[in-house]
Structures are given as structure tokens and as C-alpha cells.
């Protein structure tokens, strides 16, 4: 009787973790062997050739997580211009995740999706580097088609190219993904539209991305929308994005959409090449130098005096913001989200503090006029004094003469409250002090 009872107890199966290359020599071999809900964990290294490219699985049978063991900087899928990295077209949904890989040298041939093609599926693509991939069809990096959805989050999409539209990402035929917290840079479209992102008859949500230094160029006709190119209804929702320094062969350098079209774009920093963007209600889009730290060397984080700090939408309900920004910092500091893929951590985390300085500020509290006493014997010729309020907003910034030992600082035009005075030289903080104006 005991044996019979034991035989009637169902065997429980739990999701397994399969290691590449320890358990299986290639990614596809692990994918084929895995069961529903399993994780494929890929060790550090470079993976190329058959079994490591054009990866597919039938998500009507099983859902999988494919991820690196130690992060995207250490786990590289090199497609060697033979095929794309992943082809997801069999029912993938948010239970199917590609996480923490670098995918390079993908080749979509004459078809769409140089690194990843998503067709009628809705996976999660997060924490990856998609770089140096090519497609003849749309989406040099990632392509969504035929009602595809899902999430593209916290990726670096860099230096991809298409002979069609959408150098970084292309979305066609009612695709509706959430594209959030990505750095989309240096991508190139040889089609009509969208060096960074192209949408055709699709309405994705494009939230808190930094879209910069992308290009669209076509030899015989004007390319349009170096950053984002939009064609056909419905239209995307665009929030809290930096769209800056993108290039096209026409006047619509940064964003293109059909004329006289209602657009849902707000709380964005857009380099001005289309005046009517700034006429869109609720009149929250700005046109100001973003204050990138070092864009020429790929650092698109925000300086402490960036106009994008605390200028995103005040109400983030329904935007599905992740808890961390692209660099792993808290996504919202001081109660309001920044514009772009990065949340600024203020000078305390970006500039080193120099020790042993002989600097004083008085009176404190003050009624509006301060004196900065600078008794240092130094050769600084790039001294800057900056005053910020408790929300981190810069209210005053001016260069000062190091030869002067007593420097007046006037904040009488500011309301009473608490402020922070910071004295910097280049990328070093010499002094910082809280000030009370009353």
C-alpha cells in the first residue's frame, strides 16, 4: 500500500539552470534541452558560429531566460556577419528574457533585424549592448514587426546600420513595445527615416531614452528624422527623452513626423529643428544643451548643472519606470525623474572633493548677499561658483577670478530657503557648503 501511495504522488519539476559551456557547448544546444521556465546561464567569453547565432525556440512549448553569468561586458555573441543573434517569432512573451549580453556583427541580410528580429512576439530585451550590427531591412539593431510588443530596457544600442529605416530600432505594423531607459547612439539609416528609431503604423511608448548622434542619409532623396522618424498612424508616446545632435540630409534633423499631426511628446529635451514641437501642449518640451559628461568618449551621463535634472514628467504613473537608471543608480532622486537614460547623482558622486582648502562663506544665514573668502594659493584659472536649491536645480553659476580673495555672491533674487554653494575647478570640487537665505 505504501508503494502504491508513493507512485500516485505527482513528480514536481522546478525550473533548472543550464550552464554554457559547462552543461552544453552552445547556446542553442542548451535552449533545445531546457524545459519551461528554465534559465540558460552563459559564462564569460566570446560565442560564435553555429549554435551560438540565429537562436530560436518555440515559446508555445517553453519560456526561457537567457542571460550572462557576469554581465554584458564579459559575455559576447559575435555573429561574424553570418546571421543575426536571435530570431523570436514563436509566441515569446514577457516570460522570455534576453539579459546582459553583448551582440555584435549581426547580419540580417536583406531582411529586418541585424541583431534581434521580433515578429509577432513580446519578449523582454534588457541590459544588453547591441553594437555594430547590420540589416538590409529595417532595424539595424532590433526590429519589431506584425504586432510585436514586449520591453526594451536598459540597453546600449550603438553603431548599428540599416539600408532601410531605423538604424537602431525599427517598429512596423502595429508594434507596441515599451522602449525605456536606453542609450541609442551613433546608429545609421540609409533609408528615409529614423537614424535612431523608426516607427511605421505603430505606437510604442518611448520613455526616458537618450537618443543622440544618430544619422539618416539617403543619396537621392532627403533623409528625415536623424533621431526618430515617424510614419503612419497610430503614433508613439514619447516622454522624458533627450533627442539631441542627430543628423539627417533634410531640415528635420532630430525628429520627423507627418505635418499637421497631433503628437504625444512631452517633457523632452529636443534640439530645435521643428518649431511646432514646442507648440505642443502641455508646453513642456525644452531646447537646451543637455550637459552630457563626455559624449565624445561615450559618456552620456548628466553633469550637475544639466537642464535635464528634475525636468521629467512630475507624475510617472503608468510609465513603468524601472527602479534603476542605465548606470544602476536610483531612477528617481529628489522626488522627480530626470530627462534621459541617466539620473544625475549630483556633484558629490561625479566630482572628487579636494582636501585642506582654506575657503569660507559668510554671513550664513544671509539675507541675499554672500561673501566667498578664498585664501588658497593656487594656479586655478577655471574656478566656478554654483548655487543650487534643495531640488538640485541650478539657480546661479558664474566664473570667478582666483586672484580675488573676497568674492561677492548675490542670491537676493531667490526665495528664502536652503541652498548649496559649490566651488569647482575643472572636474574637482574644492568646497561645498549649505546656505540658508532668510
The reported pLDDT for the residue numbered 356 is 43
Residues 400 and 316 in one domain: no
300/206 Cα distance (integer angstroms): 18
Three-state secondary structure of 80-129: CCCCCCEEECCCCCCCCEEECCEEECCECCCCCCCCEEEECCCCEEECCE
CB 185 within 8 A of CB 243: no
How far apart CA 225 and CA 255 sit, in angstroms, is 4
DSSP string covering 340-407: SS-----HHHHSPBPSS--EEEESSSBSSEEEEEE--------EEEEEEETT--EEEEEE--TT-SEE
CATH number of the domain to which 245 belongs: 2.160.20
Work out the average pLDDT over 49-70.
96
Give the DSSP H/E element, type plus range, for residue 28. Answer: helix 27-33
Total count of domains within the chain: 2
What is the predicted pLDDT for the residue at 352?
A: 39
CA dist 424 and 220 (Å) reads: 50
On whether residue 202 sits in a domain, the answer given is yes
Q: Residues 219-262: pLDDT tens digits?
A: 666 678 899 999 988 889 999 999 999 988 766 678 988 776 67
- Domain extent at residue 414: 351-437
Q: 5 pLDDT band (50/70/90 cuts)?
A: very low
Same-domain pairing of 113 and 198: yes
Weakest mean pLDDT among 42-56, 161-175, 305-319, 350-364: 350-364
**Range with top average pLDDT, 5-9, 139-143, 347-351:** 139-143
- Residues 319, 176 share a domain: yes
* Average pLDDT over all residues of the chain: 86
pLDDT at 58: 97
Asked whether residue 142 carries a pLDDT value surpassing 80, the answer given is: yes
Last residue of a domain, one of 286, 307, 337: 337
Mind listing the pLDDT tens digit for each residue in 157-215? 999 999 999 999 999 999 999 999 999 999 999 988 999 999 999 999 999 999 999 99
Q: Does one domain contain both 173 and 308? A: yes
- Report whether 180 contacts 209 (CB < 8 A): yes
Q: pTM value? A: 0.78
Q: Which of 1-5, 12-16, 430-434 has the lowest mean pLDDT?
A: 1-5
- Assess contact for 195 and 221: CB atoms under 8 A: no
382-397 pLDDT, tens digit each: 788 888 775 557 788 8
Predicted confidence at residue 96, as pLDDT, reads 97
User: What's the rounded mean pLDDT across residues 135-155?
Assistant: 97
Q: Give the pLDDT mean for 54-58.
A: 98
**pLDDT given at position 282:** 74
For residues 425 and 304, membership in a common domain is answered with no
Q: Please check the confidence at residue 120 and state whether its pLDDT lies above 70.
A: yes
Total residue length of the chain: 438
At 230 the pLDDT is 93
* Averaged pLDDT for residues 272-296: 77
Nine-digit cell string for 420: 548649496
Q: Find, among 330, 250, 253, the residue nearest to 287 by Cα.
A: 253
Residues 306 and 355 placed together within one structural domain of the fold: no
Judge if 257 and 280 occupy the same domain: yes
SS3 63: coil
- Please report the pLDDT score of residue 263 as a whole number: 80
Q: Which residues contact 247 (CB under 8 A, 6 or more apart)?
A: 195, 213, 214, 215, 216, 217, 226, 253
In this structure, the answer to whether residues 62 and 175 fall within a common structural domain is yes
Q: Is residue 344 part of a domain?
A: no
Span 344-389, pLDDT tens digits: 875 433 333 344 456 778 787 888 888 887 765 556 667 888 887 7
Among 84-93, 151-160, 318-327, where is mean pLDDT lowest? 318-327
Whether 21 and 107 share a structural domain: yes
Q: What is the domain-level CATH number for residue 409?
A: 2.60.40.3080
Amino acid at each position: 500500500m505504501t508503494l502504491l501511495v508513493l507512485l500516485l504522488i505527482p513528480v514536481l519539476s522546478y525550473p533548472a539552470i543550464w550552464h554554457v559551456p559547462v552543461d552544453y557547448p552552445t547556446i542553442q544546444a542548451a535552449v533545445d534541452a531546457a524545459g519551461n521556465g528554465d534559465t540558460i546561464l552563459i559564462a564569460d567569453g566570446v560565442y560564435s558560429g553555429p549554435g551560438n547565432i540565429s537562436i530560436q525556440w518555440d515559446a508555445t512549448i517553453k519560456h526561457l531566460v537567457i542571460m550572462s553569468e557576469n554581465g554584458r561586458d564579459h559575455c559576447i555573441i559575435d555573429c561574424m556577419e553570418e546571421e543575426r543573434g536571435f530570431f523570436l517569432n514563436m509566441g515569446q512573451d514577457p516570460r522570455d528574457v534576453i539579459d546582459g549580453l553583448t551582440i555584435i556583427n549581426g547580419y540580417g541580410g536583406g531582411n529586418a533585424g541585424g541583431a534581434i528580429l521580433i515578429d509577432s512576439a513580446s519578449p523582454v530585451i534588457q541590459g544588453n549592448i547591441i553594437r555594430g550590427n547590420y540589416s538590409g531591412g529595417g532595424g539595424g539593431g532590433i526590429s519589431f514587426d506584425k504586432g510585436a510588443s514586449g520591453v526594451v530596457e536598459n540597453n546600449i544600442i550603438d553603431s548599428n546600420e540599416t539600408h532601410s529605416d531605423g538604424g537602431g530600432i525599427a517598429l512596423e505594423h502595429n508594434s507596441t513595445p515599451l522602449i525605456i531607459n536606453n542609450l541609442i547612439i551613433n546608429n545609421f539609416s540609409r533609408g528615409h527615416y529614423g537614424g535612431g528609431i523608426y516607427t511605421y503604423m505603430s505606437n510604442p511608448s518611448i520613455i526616458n531614452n537618450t537618443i543622440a548622434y544618430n544619422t539618416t542619409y539617403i543619396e537621392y532623396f532627403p533623409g528625415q528624422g536623424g533621431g526618430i522618424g515617424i510614419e503612419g498612424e497610430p503614433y508613439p508616446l514619447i516622454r522624458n527623452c533627450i533627442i539631441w545632435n542627430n543628423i539627417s540630409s533634410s531640415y528635420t534633423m532630430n525628429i520627423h513626423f507627418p505635418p499637421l499631426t497631433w503628437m504625444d511628446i512631452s517633457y523632452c529635451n529636443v534640439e530645435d529643428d521643428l518649431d511646432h514641437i514646442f507648440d505642443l501642449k502641455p508646453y513642456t518640451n525644452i531646447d537646451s544643451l543637455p550637459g552630457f559628461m563626455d559624449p565624445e568618449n561615450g559618456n552620456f551621463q548628466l553633469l550637475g548643472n544639466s537642464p535635464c535634472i528634475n525636468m521629467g514628467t512630475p507624475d510617472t504613473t503608468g510609465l513603468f519606470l524601472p527602479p534603476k537608471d542605465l548606470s544602476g543608480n536610483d531612477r528617481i532622486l529628489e522626488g522627480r525623474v530626470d530627462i534621459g537614460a541617466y539620473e544625475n547623482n549630483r556633484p558629490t558622486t561625479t566630482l572628487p572633493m579636494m582636501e585642506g582648502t582654506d575657503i569660507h562663506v559668510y554671513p550664513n544665514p544671509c539675507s541675499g548677499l554672500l561673501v566667498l573668502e578664498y585664501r588658497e594659493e593656487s594656479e586655478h584659472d577655471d574656478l566656478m561658483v554654483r548655487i543650487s536649491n534643495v531640488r538640485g536645480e541650478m539657480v546661479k553659476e558664474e566664473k570667478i577670478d582666483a586672484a580675488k580673495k573676497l568674492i561677492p555672491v548675490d542670491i537676493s533674487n531667490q526665495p528664502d530657503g536652503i541652498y548649496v554653494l559649490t566651488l569647482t575647478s575643472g572636474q574637482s570640487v574644492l568646497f561645498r557648503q549649505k546656505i540658508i537665505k532668510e
